[in-house]
Amino acid sequence: MRIFLDTANIEDIRRGVAMGVVDGVTTNPSLVAKEGVEYRDRVLEICETVDGPISAECISTEADDLVAEARRIAAWHPNVVVKIAMTEAGLQAIKRVSAEGIKVNTTLIFSANQALLAARAGATFVSPFVGRLNDAGQDGMEIVRESVAVFETYHLPTQVLAASLRGPRDVTEAALAGAHIATIPPAVLYQMVQHPLTDTGIERFLADASKYTPV
Ligand code: E4P
């Protein structure tokens, strides 16, 4: 399973890249708005920092407008993937721009049926929002599992990008569910590195190592 960072914060992205574990980045309008930067500038900065798919979201709501916006955003950089929300107009736009070779991440997926439709329209990625489904009292990871199973059964090349993950356990569950990618907030990545037994283990080894001459 590949790991993307779900953020528009460039310091966090640089830190994750330095750790050697970041394969791509997803952004959304809320994440960009938090940074107080120009959208295009930040997406380009991210593209210079991470050599992998960088999702940038379209905000139009009509099919023709979505197609025009997707073309504009995709032209920013070869690694840009346009995010299009799962609506009827969105499906029309996904079909049209995917046929032109533009990569699409279908966002706001809340059922395996939505994932199937996006895949049939030609999306490269679908993003089931696990945490938001859990918030609503459903089993969010089930949508990931079902989407992976449907795509495997029908040999659909679309990748399942588990999104809206809120903690380290969600990442493990996404991997076990067969997600191709997990996109995670930087805080979750930092938590994944940590284990109290690792810390006490290091302390003990360092204490013992001080009893002999270092090489
Ligand atoms: C995915 O691409 C979204 O940006 C993100 O995962 C949404 O997460 P949230 O539900 O925590 O806002």
- Pocket probe mutation, ligand 1, options 9, 28, 104, max atoms within 8 Å of Cβ: 28
In a domain, 214, yes or no: no
Q: Mark whether 211 is an active-site residue.
A: no
In a domain, 192, yes or no: yes
Strand 104-109 and strand 80-85: the pairing is parallel
131 Cβ below 6 A of ligand 1: yes
The residue ranges of DSSP E strands in 46-151, in sequence order, are 54-57, 80-85, 104-109, 125-128
- Pocket probe mutation, ligand 1, options 25, 82, 84, 129, max atoms within 8 Å of Cβ: 129
- Say whether 178 sits in a helix, a strand or coil: coil
pLDDT of residue 215: 86
In a domain, 90, yes or no: yes
Domain boundaries, position 205: 2-209
pLDDT of residue 214: 85
Percent of the chain residues topping a pLDDT of 70: 100
Q: What is the rounded average pLDDT for all residues in the chain? A: 97
**How many distinct structural domains can be found in the chain?**
1
In a domain, 135, yes or no: yes
Mean pLDDT score, 6-24: 98
For residue 97, give the nearest of 55, 68, 76, 126 by alpha carbon: 68
Which CATH number do you get for residue 173? 3.20.20.70
Mean pLDDT score, 35-64: 97
The residue count for the chain: 215
